[in-house]
Amino acid sequence: MAVLKFRVSWEEDDAIYRDVLVKHTQNFQDLHISILKAFDFDQKHDATFYRSNDTWQRGREISKEVYDRAYKVAPLLMEETTIGTEIIDTNQHFIYEYDFVKSWSFLIQLIQVIKNVDADMTLEYPLVSRIEGVGPMQYGTKGLLGEKFADIEEKYDLNEAADGFGEEGEEDAHASDDGGDDGEEEDAHASDDGEEDADASDEGDDAEQNKQDNESGSGFFEGEAF
């Protein structure tokens, strides 16, 4: 028996990778689960492996199940296929695809074969022996907040402005309206004061006193800022 060390790199950035150790007698279902755990992905979606070569061409599939799609050759099944039976080259390549909608792709390369006498058989395999780079988030920012974020987002419609909070332009418009109303009220009061001054002028017997009253009224309005 031997332990196989695979380097599993994110296809979009090969600086982000995980080294995974598996026994050659374990199956591709074991490798599938270990890759998802290594990158903190869930296990809810479809997945498949492809045999590959140095130029990363996709060959026969080793799939989680037989999916409803056209195959050139019927796929092998992960649970029924041991990893050792698919090692043809000393640097054997596979491609792993997870979640066919999002199409997460990882490049897998055999980088070491550890013979039984050199392997630590007290460890529980598969295991991750090395982590490099911050892996991609499976669900973007929602993944940080858990599965209930989508429900919260839908309930409160977080993409729209909250009720009671308008745009800045709207606030300016309201301020303009309020200023206009205040100005109209003050103008009305000013008009009433003017009428009262006129009545005082008619009723007063002293012409000079009437003149002073009028001048006093006009001075008040000239000094007020609008």
| Two tokens, residue 68 | 């409803």
Over residues 78-136, the pLDDT tens digits come to 999 999 999 999 999 999 999 999 999 999 999 999 998 788 888 999 999 999 999 99
User: Is 18 strand, coil or helix?
Assistant: strand
Q: What local confidence, expressed as pLDDT, does residue 90 receive?
A: 92
Topology of domain 2-141 in CATH is 3.10.290
Which one, of 128, 132, 118, lies nearest residue 3 by Cα? 118
Say what the pTM is: 0.63
CB 20 within 8 A of CB 127: yes
Give the C-alpha separation, 10 to 188, whole Å.
74
Q: Which residue carries 């994110």 as its tokens?
A: 10
Closest CA to 164 of 154, 155, 174: 174
| Composition of the chain by helix, strand, coil, percent to 5 | 35, 25, 40
What is the domain partition of the chain in residue ranges?
2-141, 168-223
